[in-house]
Amino acid sequence: MLSRLTLSDFRNHEDALIVPRHPFVVLTGENGAGKTNILEAVSLLTPGRGLRGAALSQMARQGGRGGFGVAAQVDGVTIGTGTLPDAPERRQARIGGVAHAASALADYLSILWLTPAMDRLFTESAGGRRRFLDRLTLALRPGHATHSTRYEAAMRARNKLLSDAARGWDEHWLSALEVQMVEHGVEIATARADMVERLNIVLAQAEEGPFARPVLALAMPEDAATGMDGAALLEALRLGRRRDAAAGRTLSGPHRVDLAVRHAAKDQAAGLCSTGEQKALLLSIILGHAALVGQARDRPPVLLLDEVAAHLDPGRRLALFERLAATGSQIWMTGTEAALFDGIGEATRLHVTDGHVALAE
């Protein structure tokens, strides 16, 4: 858990300090006050671009000194991230005061989030579901971030090389890049498949309640190798060079995987379910995954739930609070009204007003 969180020139927060005393941290305030900004700051304490996926330069406070900082105390260790004024798009990360790659943050925290924008997860493009899949996987395997970064870098270099096909390409360099893609692609594919298998077991064991039970699977275009078979992927990359050059992108590999989710009781694809059912499926995935991470890493993930209680009736809200408490996670929740959290029990309750954070009365 985070025992201390500090923000410096982050979004609309010039200087904020939060010291959670309970597993539940409840942030209330009007729309635009800066509640979600606090969740976004916490989400940056793991690899990736945070819950909004925004450019780093957009996170620095307007009218500030340039750059921003987010730091937290986790199990007696101070971890932090941010940018400097002269390098607004270059992310810095520090652990115990020592500079590290951002991927190293995954060794200290696993963080999952649910935001209103994710209500469209099952109906939007595969890219959004793939990013969600990778966050679930990263929470179980911190090294997943490094493999993903290196796979993407090798793929970008290969695409660039193929774009110069008219002038001919360096066969040895191209082969070396494809070997790198296979090396990291197999790790990515294996980690994802393992996570999905284990999460399905946890979800199947969960008690039936007010939230629908999902079943997860990995979906892949028929004409692309998944990365589960390294030899098959290497062959697909080699044979697909001219096709990929014409397409301007690589058409084989784990970067084309999609996450398929079905409503178990209805045996229906999540994208065909009602808005309420889709929300319930997402909540079930988050709750099941929190339990899985707690078992696997002996440390449950931090959960960031933005406006999650607003569209639930009182009975479902109480059921949600019970399920959340059972995860053992630290849970950060936002809402416009304090009444939305009636029945939650002990919580660190904070009120946010125009970038200022204070204990709620």
Answer for the pair 81, 73: CB distance below 8 angstroms, yes or no. Answer: no
Structure tokens at 291: 């339990």
Residues above pLDDT 90, as percent of the chain: 77
Answer for the pair 189, 228: CB distance below 8 angstroms, yes or no. Answer: yes
Q: Which of 275, 247, 1, 256 is nearest to 121 (CA)?
A: 275
9-47 pLDDT, tens digit per residue, is 999 999 999 999 999 999 999 999 999 999 999 999 999
Q: Which residue has the higher pLDDT, 156 or 297?
A: 156
Q: How confident is the model at residue 166 (pLDDT cuts 50, 70, 90)?
A: low
Q: Is a pLDDT exceeding 70 seen at residue 165?
A: no
In angstroms, the CA 176 to CA 164 distance is 17
| Entry pTM | 0.87
> Between 171-205 and 230-239, two packed helices, what is the crossing angle to 10 degrees?
140
Q: How confident is the model at residue 313 (pLDDT cuts 50, 70, 90)?
A: confident
Q: Which residues pair with 219 in a beta bridge?
A: 258
59-97 pLDDT, tens digit per residue, is 999 888 889 999 999 989 999 999 999 999 999 999 999
> Domains in the chain and their CATH numbers?
1-109+301-361 (3.40.50.300), 122-296 (1.20.1050.90)
